[in-house]
Structure 1
Amino acid sequence: MEIYNTIKALHLIFVITWFAGLFYIVRLFVYHAEAKQKEDVEQRILVKQYQLMQYRLWYIITWPSAILASFFAFWMLFFTPIGSAWLTMPWMHVKLTFVFLLYLYHLKCHQIFKQLQQDNVKHSSTFFRLWNEGATLILFSVVFLVILKNAINWVFGVLGIVLFSILLMLGFKIYKKIREKNE
């Protein structure tokens, strides 16, 4: 049991750092997109700095965390008796679906990262702010699911976070209009 708890702790640590990387990389995408709206000299300085920050975050923290979180998850699921039992439970199937969505989100972030490294900005800062909510929804869904392990309870939890995200975005839009009006 002690080895299982050690593996679980390592898995959680790397899940936390993985999400931290995903949240921050998209925030850097926001800043990068906004830097493209600046004057030429300021733009060159900011874009170069954001590219460096993105590169370091992505390859030193986010990718290694994703790989290590996955490694310890597989170890827990396939090489421990408790994990093997969890694979038969419906809530784990739903959780693994969300994990699959997280991998897709991560890969899309990697695609965006590569574009921004080539200074090819295809999306606005508003798009990136909305995009950042994707990781939040996945995180809340997985946490509620793992803690509650009950379909009805986690559905309400996910619906709550979707509603919360909608309220956040409405607040963001109101703030943006106020900011634009004051400029």
Structure 2
Amino acid sequence: MTDLLTTIYPYVKAFHVMAVLSWMAGLFYLPRLFVYHAERGTGEGEPGDSLSMMEDKLFRLIMRPAMIATWVSGICLVVTPGIVDWSLLWPWVKAVSVLMMTGFHGWCAGQRRALMRGDALSGRRYRLMNEVPTLLMIIIVLSVIVKF
């Protein structure tokens, strides 16, 4: 099995990068949709219905599969021999940050349900939360590239 993982490593890494990009695109955009929904789509009808549909499709059809693909390919990379030295700090920083990113993904799922119930946060609060994936992305990229 380890020979196979070593052989396909470049392909798994490429797939991982593509999955991360897709997931991050959704994590950047969904809170922005929440801002619009909270500020302009609070009543029945348009634009609330369109925003709800966009949020649902983005979450279910893009973000969730991309998150799963990110996790599966990331675990494959982690178990590939010689790739991760767990005695260093960077893999631990990345792992915690990825767990936090997954938690943010879950928070987005909860906010979708809250918006459907009409229990939204303020647009300002969603704007602030929109910065969370950016900060986590910076930490993850620096930890992987710099390997501190």
TM-score (structure 1 length as normaliser): 0.73
- In 1, Cα distance between equivalents of 2:116 and 2:102: 21
Q: Does structure 1 residue 61 correspond to structure 2 residue 62? A: yes
Find the counterpart in structure 1 of residue 3 from structure 2: none
- In 1, Cα distance between equivalents of 2:85 and 2:101: 20
Q: Does structure 1 residue 12 correspond to structure 2 residue 17? A: yes
- Residues 136-147 of structure 1 mapped to structure 2, 5 A cutoff: 136-147=134-145
- In 2, Cα distance between equivalents of 1:110 and 1:125: 17
Query: SS at the partner of 1:81?
Result: coil
Which segments of 5 or more consecutive residues in structure 2 lack a partner in the other structure? 1-5
Query: SS at the partner of 2:130?
Result: helix
Give the greater-gyration-radius structure (CA): 1
**Superimposed CA distance per residue, residues 87-137 of structure 1 (whole angstroms, 9 cap, x where no aligned partner):** 34321011111111111111111110111133332x111100000000000
- In 2, Cα distance between equivalents of 1:137 and 1:67: 21
TM-score (structure 2 length as normaliser): 0.90
Match of 2:133 among 127, 132, 135: 135
Offset at 1:32?
0.1
Q: Report 1 or 2 for greater relative contact order, CA contacts < 8 Å, sequence distance ≥ 6.
A: 2
Find the counterpart in structure 2 of residue 35 from structure 1: 40
- In 1, Cα distance between equivalents of 2:64 and 2:20: 11
Q: Is the 8 A contact 2:22 2:66 kept in 1?
A: yes
Q: Is the 8 A contact 2:13 2:73 kept in 1?
A: yes
* Residue type of the alignment partner of 2:130: N
- Residues 110-121 of structure 1 mapped to structure 2, 5 A cutoff: 110-121=109-120
Match of 2:123 among 117, 122, 125: 125
Q: Is the 8 A contact 2:41 2:51 kept in 1?
A: no
Q: Is the 8 A contact 2:32 2:127 kept in 1?
A: yes
- In 2, Cα distance between equivalents of 1:70 and 1:52: 26
* Residue type of the alignment partner of 2:81: P
- In 1, Cα distance between equivalents of 2:93 and 2:119: 36
Count of residues in Structure 1 that have an aligned counterpart in Structure 2 = 143
Offset at 1:2?
4.6
Offset at 1:22?
0.7
- In 2, Cα distance between equivalents of 1:110 and 1:60: 13
**What's the Cα RMSD here?**
1.5
Query: SS at the partner of 2:82?
Result: helix
Percent of pairs with identical residues? 31
Q: Is the 8 A contact 1:30 1:125 kept in 2?
A: yes
Q: Does structure 1 residue 26 correspond to structure 2 residue 31? A: yes
